[in-house]
Amino acid sequence: MDSGFWADVIGITHAVFVLFVVGGLALILAGWAAAWEWTQNRVFRFAHLAAIGFVVIQQWMGAWCPLTLWENELRRKEGVAGYEVEFIEYWLNALLYYSAPSWVFTAVYTAFGLMVAAAFVYCPPRKKLPTGDN
């Protein structure tokens, strides 16, 4: 398979990661209010916290997202200078990449990370979920 295909796969993976981080918080809060047990699962919650923690740390360090670097390298191998050649590439670019100063991203990622941490504290995961056999 060609580099363009793998770049698309990485782009889709990137979109899924973003959806997990952003949508995960929304589901955690909704799940806490609606008593959805799966949103209190420790593995899910720690994975979610680790995901946004990784994003915040890399942003504070001034590092690029490894998925972005890998995707861009594969696109360069295909001779593509940007995301304008294919439908999937265009929409992934429109959804994931914005033009703003770096400090804006640092502030947004940090604020979101703090919201996830607050949800972890105020809506904590449960050590053992109730079985419903009461």
Lowest pLDDT segment from 50-59, 68-77, 123-132: 123-132
Query: What is residue 1's predicted lDDT score, i.e. its pLDDT?
Result: 67
pLDDT tens for each residue of 103-119: 888 899 999 999 999 99
Residue recorded with tokens 């640092």:
106
Q: What is the pLDDT of residues 4-33, one digit of tens each?
A: 899 889 989 988 999 999 999 999 999 999
For residue 134, pLDDT over 80 is answered with no
Q: Above 90 in pLDDT, residue 42?
A: yes
> What is the reported pLDDT for 121?
94
H-helix segments, the chain: 3-34, 42-60, 66-77, 87-96, 102-122
* pLDDT value of position 85: 44
Provide the 3-class DSSP secondary structure of residue 59.
helix
Q: Where are the domains of the chain?
A: 3-122
Could you report the per-residue pLDDT of 78-98, keeping only the tens digit for each? 877 654 444 455 666 677 777
More confident residue, 132 or 5: 5
Cβ neighbours of 90 (radius 10 Å):
13
Higher pLDDT, 102 or 49: 49
State the average pLDDT over residues 33-61: 94
